[in-house]
A and B are shown apart, each in its own frame.
Chain A
């Protein structure tokens, strides 16, 4: 393995006693615990880590945190491969494997770097102009798109199933502190000491924030340790590290992702890789810091150019000196700290300050650093990495360099164009930050959000002392602990000139003498200064349009290092104030979060909850093929040996017609309706009358929506004087209950009725066929089931094998049939008792497909016909509606559009051609004429009828009842078939109902 040529001999917050092995692009390197992948790269002098998006320019590490725009690598292998991972946030671990992206065949030699030669042809917007323009319509684009898609993007997605698990957690607290830097620590401790329930979330693996970038062993370390120790000891403070607060939502709800085991190759068994927190808090303190801003100049993307604070972080936190001849280019005081620490580490440092007036206290703090004032870097140059810069005298007001330039050789450059407070979460709450001229940044409006306070650098507190003070104040305010301090240790004195707001020069972009090559605004999307100017020339003056036209700020870094520079360029082009340009809207997530975390455990069999009938296990044990019916799993058919689905259901349906079958109908909705006004309720809900229904009888009913369309149908039984049981379709059970509750609570508050779902209380078994009565008479005790004593549409109570049952005589299949209701826990017991009693009668179970075939033969409507677009008249059920009483939908059902005689109405369809089938959803066209448009109707249900020995269906056809006997075409546009069918009555089988009334 390689020695780490850039690792300093001492210092850093790393564990030198342990060496980690990692691999990048097939080469082995070493690192230490405490390193990130980026610091490991730099320690090992890996300067090029990727290729840029469009031009495939070599790119190196630019930052030390989440704002990293360049160092995106592919991490892991196989199913755990993760593209577009920022090397600056990956914690190094032994066995880490990473690969560079967006290059072929290698990072050093990338064929697509030739794009750079054609860069003049590839400005912003070139896709639209080049590939959509040619020819008419989108034909040209559809050809080009295939090639563009192959080269688009940076990383590659994984198509294998994720082997890791993820979980979700709900949490509640009084104060959420976002950020574990100095301001956040102060806020958390201030709030914690008041006794409030505090959650402190820090995106890095340890607390400290910017303090971790200070030299090891300084006064700030002591302060940090003191704060950390007390916070850990407080039982009312929960500390979450490796946790990013990615979203701020209404009602004090925040989304967090905790990277529980991202820092190892494979999580321990049973442990989730990541944890998604839905946190609800009364108040929050945003202490998210600020991100250093680049300066825009030619060649600013060369590997070796990075943020000044990043260069300092690599020296102090990771003991890595990424260059020996360093140029620091700045417009503010904060870079002096970086220059000083780089010099102390042994680099020869030259600091280029665009400002002319520099106080002695500032220059004295940068001991060992050559300072050149009133100058700016016009251009960075080198081969694949930084080799030198050209500097010249600069007019800060224009950014123009003029006069003779000087060339400085260097291998590392730190840039600082100011700081951009991280206001994303605050903005997600619908607020717009305002531009502060002094800070040169967009800052949150103080007290704009009552329960989201800002502290520290994100509130433009430019010094460590200010950060801590604002943190204390925010923590106390958030916890309701008053505005006086409660003894939090004050800021330690530091030798740094750390207030970046002091006399910051409004310089964002440098051009003029010595300016050669591209000047990048957005590194990740290869957006240059010229692209922004082009967008302006082409009329995209709004910042929202500029963003989308150039794609500046739209990459995975969401413009953390580019947004403000883009805005300032627009403002300059428009000759307007920066404040007028405004910002684009920030939306979650703040940093990318994995789909796994969002999904949590709700994937695979837990994608949604599953509902099982009380008899489910019996069906499975006896070979039923199951089908989803909403959330339910129902037996679809029970295949005999060698049978396919069609053979099975045809056999089952035929068996019911000649012998007896039983089907599990426990999924039907069941609603208990209780109270003295129960009958009144039914009168108002259903289209037909209910007040005259005697106790012990059933009645079929249809209910409409308020707009007059059919909502649902079912059978309701009167169990007692004030006690009814309503049944609904499986699909509409919840909808109907909600509908009734809504009416009782808003419109019908006068009714004394309670409605309660009892779908779970009762299992239900339909027994149907000529042998049904005989079977039940053999199985049921305690009641008379003879035809005379138990007429159709009545109910009785009895016992089956010692279990209490209620039996409804009613038929869905058109055969002599009964529904047996039994308490759920006895459901299987009774089912098995019926199977046993049914042996002599030839009992067989049947599934939903056979059930469907039977009801289609009878012309009974079901969900396919009650699809929310049909009326009573459409379905031939107009006669059911009472003319004597109002009911829901009674007025609007008579709208002219719903009584139009040309509306499609229910008909039966018999397939004319032997052996042909029709499919539900097919369109109906007249026998002659072109097949264009939507036809004259459609097929709602279709099956093979064992009773009729042919394929049949139900459909809705314009003026259907007037066209009986006519032959029409049934056209399946998706399947590509046309079948001739004869229009018939939907009551194909036993139209007089003799069998069910036997």
Chain B
């Protein structure tokens, strides 16, 4: 089996860093992407065609430009009028997607290696992100499930609020693979004044 290598492999070291000691108000970590693909189409019939494919995965509709759609084991972001980005946490459903798609009407594009997912969690998560993103992340504005396409340190990223309650803020940040290290370094530098923890990987290992 080929070994997947994270762009953070050389610098990802779980531990506690920055200001203070003990519990940290921030946790940063890399999460496995799973599968990522783009569904695209044309104005004349995109809504219908996309709904068919998304329906195979359990999504109710094609969504809007600010709210992520959730389905069992999947999340979808409508990133443009005729483009939807779909993440499958477990890639097993990929085959059904391909089977349902007409490449002429709804071209599918595999982007499963093009992004890294960084997770920022904890009471200080919002305060960290406003140091990097020109977004209004206040509780009443960027509610759970909201997403935004924006720029972080000059890099195009997608931010999704992945928690359910303000008591446990969790954000997922989708970063292009080749820009991941620079974004991670910047995140850590901005997190230092708060004190933060770099999480163990989802697999429980020391580093990816």
Q: A residues near B, CB below 8 A? A: 167-172, 197, 268-272, 278, 280, 601-602, 605-606, 608-614, 617, 620, 632, 666, 672, 674-676, 720-723, 752, 754, 756, 758-762, 801-803, 823-830
Contact = CB atoms under 8 A, between A and B. Distances in A.
Interface stretch (B70-78, B88-96, B111-119, B160-168): B111-119
Interface stretch (B2-10, B60-68, B199-207): B2-10
A486 B193 CA distance: 39
A614 to B, nearest CB: 7
Contact of B114 (A606, A674, A720, A824): A824
Main SS of the interface on chain A?
A: mixed
Contact of B189 (A606, A609, A676, A760): A606
B134 A754 contact: no
B181 to A, nearest CB: 5
Contacts of B135: 170
B98 interface: no
A672 B109 CA distance: 8
Nearest to B42: A752
B141 interface: yes
Contacts of A169: 130-131
Interface in B102-138: 103-104, 107, 109-115, 130-131, 133-136, 138
B197 interface: no
B109 A674 contact: yes
Given A269-B19, A270-B192, A611-B182, 14 more contacts: A602-B153, A606-B182, A609-B183, A610-B181, A611-B179, A614-B5, A614-B178, A632-B178, A723-B103, A754-B109, A761-B114, A762-B113, A826-B2, A826-B4
A727 to B, nearest CB: 15
A270 B193 contact: yes
Nearest to B11: A617
Contacts of A828: 5
Contacts of B22: none
Among all A-B residue pairs, the 8 with the closest Cβ atoms: A803-B2, A674-B107, A172-B136, A823-B113, A761-B114, A754-B40, A270-B19, A825-B4
Contacts of B18: 270
A213 B104 CA distance: 75
A675 B107 contact: yes
Contacts of B193: 167, 270-272
29 contacts: A167-B131, A167-B190, A169-B130, A170-B131, A170-B135, A270-B18, A271-B19, A602-B153, A608-B154, A609-B155, A609-B179, A609-B182, A614-B178, A620-B10, A632-B178, A674-B107, A675-B40, A675-B42, A720-B103, A722-B104, A754-B82, A756-B83, A756-B109, A760-B177, A761-B110, A761-B111, A761-B113, A801-B2, A824-B114
B7 A614 contact: yes
A819 B134 CA distance: 39
Interface in B133-191: 133-136, 138, 141, 153-155, 176-179, 181-183, 185-186, 189-190
Given A602-B153, A802-B2, A824-B113, A612 B141 contact: no
Nearest to A677: B42
B69 interface: no
A21 B100 CA distance: 77
Contacts of B178: 611-614, 632, 666, 759-760, 824
B1 interface: yes
A754 B83 contact: yes
Contacts of A272: 193
A803 B2 CA distance: 5
Nearest to A278: B134
A723 B107 contact: yes
A283 to B, nearest CB: 15
B111 A758 contact: yes
A598 to B, nearest CB: 15
Contacts of B9: 617
Contacts of A602: 153
B38 interface: yes
Given A609-B153, A676-B104, A758 B109 contact: yes
Contacts of B107: 674-675, 722-723, 754
Contacts of A172: 136, 138, 141
A605 B103 contact: no
Q: Which of A167, A172, A609 gathers the greatest number of chain B CB atoms within 10 Å?
A: A609
A721 B2 contact: no
A909 B6 CA distance: 45
A111 B189 CA distance: 48
A102 B116 CA distance: 55
A197 B138 contact: yes
Nearest to A253: B134
A632 B195 CA distance: 30
A802 B1 contact: yes
A831 to B, nearest CB: 10
A754 B192 CA distance: 41
Contacts of B5: 614, 825-829
A612 B131 contact: no
A377 B58 CA distance: 86
Contacts of B181: 610, 612
Contacts of B103: 674, 720-723
A910 to B, nearest CB: 39
Contacts of B133: 170
Contacts of A672: 109
A826 B177 CA distance: 12
